[in-house]
Structure 1
Amino acid sequence: MVGFRFNKFIFLIIIVLLFWCSHMETCKAGRVGKHWRHSPNTAFASLYKKKGIKQGPYHHNGKSGKWPHKPHSPKPQPPVPPPPALSPPPQLVPPPAIVPPPPASPPSAAPPALSPPSCTPIESPPNISPPPKKGENALGSTVYDVVDFGAKGDGTSDDTKAFVAAWAAACKVEASVINVPADYVFLVGPISFSGPYCQHNIVFQLDGKIVAPTRPSAWGSGLLQWLEFTKLVGITIKGSGIIDGNGAAWWQYSPLEDDQSRLIIPINGTLEQNHPPPQWISSSLGSKMPSIKPTALRFYGSFNVTVTGITIQNSPQCHLKFDNCMGVAVYNFSVSSPGDSPNTDGIHLQNSKEVLIRSSNIGCGDDCVSIQTGCTNIYVHNIKCGPGHGISIGGLGKDNTKACVSNVTVRDVILQNTMNGVRIKTWQGGLGSVQGVQFSNIQVSEVQLPIVIDQYYCDKRSCKNQTTAVALSGINYENISGTYTVKPMHFACSDILPCTDVTLTDIQLKPQQERYHMYDPYCWQTFGKLLTPTVPPVECLLVGKPLSSRILGDEDSC
């Protein structure tokens, strides 16, 4: 009896040992699945070895070079089954619920919520940029379209407020773009697009048409400009659009100021025959426009200004003006107004420096390019001028003021049917100086006076003689050719302060032989030299320096 109990006790011990061993294998398999879901490699093993960390169940037998299991295998090593003869009773088999998951579940077995399909990036086709987002252009700049701010663009509705709102938004964003779209006509009243707190490098993209109102009430008692950009850095106006000043509503009340009848004498003492009178249009409601005429587009106190591609037409007065600006570029630009539209300068510069004007076509009723006091380092080339009064420096020194202009180059210019070619004009009584001026490669066709220096400039029938003048020196004319209708050149310098260092090289000017008498070259108190023979011969130029002239004082220095 005692032996039977002993044998039964031994049998139970064996059953417990087998059950314990089976449970230990299952636990080891669970630890493998928990700690080695990714395939192990020697780098991980060496990392553990360097850190002195115990390497877990794979080295429990001291044989670090062998792996008892392959954790990267998709099927785990099954537990060791007990011998058939010693199988435990069915009631001792552990329930399936406690069996751990397979030890090496692949990553795809993870729940779908951990990798939703919407997070998968979508690749764009190679070399194809995604389309610009709404409110951005292809370069990523923020775009503010005036239509989005309420502009109608029908040519009759007042769109001024929409332009003001678009500017207010663009002003806050660097390198933003105000878009004036094509195929619209925007009626816009006087606006000042002003800084100085606006961000830099704003672009005004003009592809549509902007027209000025012809209602006198829109202008109050009179304004000096219609569209104005002030105190900005890096401002650009570009596009294929048009700015139309509706100037005919103003011109009928404006006298012609640049009167050169004293220099131009027709054969019969009258104006040209067969010249059609200007076709004026009335302002809205038949009312008279203010006496002060606005410039169409003005820039004031700005740096790095660019105007390109656009056309300005029919301005009441100047078309494009730069005042107190530095770093100006104008190119591929057009001005279009009738030749008899009064005082409608194409491009007007004043107190501006580092200016480049090139590759443009200008037709107007006054100077194609007008360079006023305070200008230096001005470069004008590849310009077609006509109709108009030519390219002028001045008038300078009006009302006994001081004027300073220096380092001006005008070259590769075509002038056709203009009053003057290249001209310097100063008022009597002025102070200051003009120096360092180069006119070269100038082609004239049917120009009344191709070369002019006039220190007795007067926009009235008579002006008072005065004893001071703006000093002129270092004026060079080179390679100027073509046809004239009145006089090839007119040099009228001051008695008190004659012109000095005037040079002529390769001058070839021939008469057109039309309605006017042909006059010989005229010189008065002009000192300089001929570097080559001229056509026609210039015999009036004085050689050397003036024997006596007014001594320049501090008030004359620039």
Structure 2
Amino acid sequence: MVPLPKEGIISWMILLGRLPTGDRLLRWGMQINAFPPCQTCGSPNESPPAPKPGASLPEPGAPEASPPELAPIPPPELSPEPSEAPRDDKVFDVTEYDAVADGWTESRLAFLAAWKAACDHPGNSTFYIPEGIFMVAPITFHGPCYNDLSPNVKIKGTLLAPIRLTAFKSHHWIAFKNLKGFAVTGGTETGKVDGQGEAEAWQQSSCLKAARCKKLITSMFFINVSHASISNITLLNGKGFHLGLHKSNDINIYNVNIIAPEDSPNTDGIHVSHSSNISIFSSTIGVGDDCISIGSGSNNISISDVRCGPGHGISVGSLGKYKTETDVVGISVRNCTINGTENGIRMKSWPGGRAINAYNMTFEDILMINVSNPIVIDQEYCPSHKCKTTKPSLVKVKDILIRNISGTYNTKSAVTLLCSSDAPCEDIRLVNISLNYLVPHTPRQGRFNIKGFLNGLQVINSKF
């Protein structure tokens, strides 16, 4: 393992499709192998993944020798979902506890009263929000409930957050805490959860100066929740993150729409931290920050059939900033479309910080449409540009398989690897990458930018 030259970012112009079979390019102690096209790009017995309808993936050729691959990560088993069919459920309608659906009357106490009755009910129960517009102050739905049976939550109407940030004593608006075995759903329709971030939160001076808002409010936050599902709801205009999971496990998130303007600061769609066995699928997310961000302590996270854009793409991180952080392992992102975003798939860690590992990750069968930076490993992440960049990241990024990525990009960099000098990137594999630069009549397809230290890099059957 030899360090690259220190004179900034090294730009390589690579057209692997034109290299003779078996040729090897050895530069600065790193090896990039050009292999003939293969059908499986995996183990000899592995069938190629079926492309998504409409996706433009590279045509496989006749195989000569299939290189060894990292084993794909199976998606987590979907946890059993609470049935929405009535099972002698008792319904606790918030309007029967004096909630008013006029969009003005604050209804927090009525919601809490209805929740307490549903939570204390000795049997199956449903906490029900009917059609209408309800103004609700910050609220936490606590458990555990009677006999550890959590009420299902059905949202048919629209919930509005208070406009003023002074109304929030904590960093969340609607929280579910210490609960298990329940569903939050809009039913056959879609309930709406509107954070009203545009009215005041996005106008904070800290947001305007550095796009890093001082006070972030998560619209819907799940804390220490297990065996639950979230479906058929729309979250929009969050003051900060729209949907957060923390210290939770066995959660299914599907048929969720998350919407915020492209220029709204810090409005991540879904953020996962210190959680396991999370499945996010069949959803559409377009926001001003990461569509999905996977933070410290996350393991066995599956993302599939997600349409992302606008936003900053699908990210692992940022990592390494806080002393309490732990490893991230077992991330699978498959069959997604990323359209008009700043980044595509990205791993990011702060300079200096805590030493943790981020490993065993698969990103495959992803269509990029007009994306600025399709594939990024950034171990110099510093959005405020005020970091101590002289201290390298201590996050170890390794065992990363990026396969069957196709589409278009609009900058000079299709692939950017900014790796740490103290914790070199290790075992990075790019397989069947077919990305086209949008600028017409360009003499070359694009650039592969590398800086830092790598130990084991393969680029196989790819062009960009």
Q: Does 1:526 align with 2:454?
A: yes
The superposition leaves residues 462-519 of structure 1 with CA deviations (integer Å, 9 ceiling, x where unpaired) of 32121451111100100001111112011000112210110011001111229x9996
- Structure having the larger proportion of residues in strand: 2
Q: Which residue of 1 aligns with 2:155?
A: 206
Q: What is the percentage of aligned positions where both structures have the same residue? A: 35
Give the CA deviation at 1:175.
2.8
User: Cα gap change, 1:467/1:455 in structure 2, threshold over 3 Å: closer, same or farther?
Assistant: closer
Structure 1 partner of 2:207: 255
Higher helix share: 1
Contact 2:426 2:457 in 1 (8 A): no
1:147 is matched with which residue: 81, 85, 95?
A: 95
CA distance in 1, matches of 2:129, 2:164: 23
On the 8 A contact 1:296/1:318 being kept in 2, the answer is yes
Contact 2:349 2:393 survives alignment (8 Å): no
The SS at the match of 1:296 is: strand
Give the AA of the match of 2:185. Answer: K
Which runs of 5 or more structure 1 residues have no equivalent in the other structure? Answer: 1-135, 261-289, 537-558
SS in 1 for 2:109: helix
Name the CA distance, whole Å, in 1 between partners of 2:232 and 2:116: 24
> Which residue number in structure 1 is paired with residue 53 of structure 2?
none
Q: Deviations over 1:260-315 (max 9, x none)?
A: 9xxxxxxxxxxxxxxxxxxxxxxxxxxxxx95231000000111121000000000
Largest Rg, 1 or 2: 1
Do structure 1's residue 320 and structure 2's residue 243 form an aligned pair?
yes
Contact 1:485 1:518 in 2 (8 A): no
RMSD (Å) for aligned C-alpha atoms: 2.3
8 Å CA contact retained: 1:410, 1:440: yes
Once the two structures are TM-superposed, the CA of residue 195 in structure 1 deviates from its matched residue by 1.2
Amino acid at match of 1:161: L
The superposition leaves residues 301-354 of structure 1 with CA deviations (integer Å, 9 ceiling, x where unpaired) of 111121000000000000000000011110011100001100000000000000
Equivalent position to 1:506, from 410, 432, 437: 432
Letter aligned with residue 232 of structure 1: L
Conserved? CA contact 2:225–2:248, under 8 Å: yes
- Quickly say closer, same or farther: Cα 1:163–1:420, change in 2 above 3 A: same
Correspondence 1:190 to 2:176? no
Does the C-alpha gap of structure 1 residues 299 and 256 become closer, same or farther in structure 2, counting only changes over 3 Å?
farther
2:355 to 424, 431, 434: 431
Q: TM-score, normalised by structure 2?
A: 0.75
- In structure 2, stretches of 5+ residues that fail to align are 1-83
Counterpart CA distance in 2 for 1:497 and 1:311 is 40
Q: Are residue 374 (structure 1) and residue 297 (structure 2) matched?
A: yes
Q: Among 387, 400, 407, which residue is 1:463 paired with?
A: 387
Residue in structure 2 matching 1:396, options 312, 319, 339:
319
Higher RCO (CA 8 Å, separation ≥ 6 residues): 2
Q: Which amino acid aligns with 2:179?
A: L
Classify the secondary structure of the residue corresponding to 2:180.
coil
In the other structure, the counterpart of 1:13 is none
CA distance in 2, matches of 1:334, 1:341: 16
| 2:179 matched residue in structure 1 | 232
| 1:535 paired residue number | 463
Aligned to 2:191: 241
Tell me by how many angstroms 1:461 deviates: 1.5
CA contact (8 A) 1:223 1:292 kept: no
SS for the counterpart of 2:115 is helix
1:479 and 2:404 correspond: yes
The number of equivalent residue pairs is 368
Q: Could you tell me which of 111, 114, 130 is aligned with 1:166? A: 114
Determine the C-alpha separation between the residues in 1 that align with 2:210 and 2:379. Answer: 14
